[in-house]
Amino acid sequence: MMFPQSSSRHSSSSHLPQQLKFTTSDSCDRIKDEFQLLQAQYHSLKLECDKLASEKSEMQRHYVMYYEMSYGLNIEMHKQAEIVKRLNGICAQVLPYLSQEHQQQVLGAIERAKQVTAPELNSIIRVCENYILGLLDWNEASRCSFFVIHGLCHDKVISYPQDGE
CB atoms within 10 A of CB 21: 10
Whole-number Å distance between alpha carbons of 99 and 111: 18
Number of domains in the chain: 1
Q: What is the pTM of this model?
A: 0.48
What pLDDT does 21 receive? 58
Provide, rounded to the nearest whole percent, the portion of the chain with pLDDT above 90: 46
What pLDDT does 1 receive? 46
What pLDDT does 128 receive? 75
88 inside domain? no
Query: Considering only CA atoms, which of 153, 146, 150, 147 is closest in space to residue 68?
Result: 146
140 inside domain? yes
13 inside domain? no
31 inside domain? no
Length of the chain: 165
165 inside domain? yes
145 inside domain? yes
Whole-number Å distance between alpha carbons of 106 and 43: 74
Which residue type is seen at 142?
Answer: S
124 inside domain? yes
Low-confidence residues in the chain, pLDDT < 50: 1-3, 6-12, 149, 152-165
Structural domain span for residue 148: 117-165
82 inside domain? no
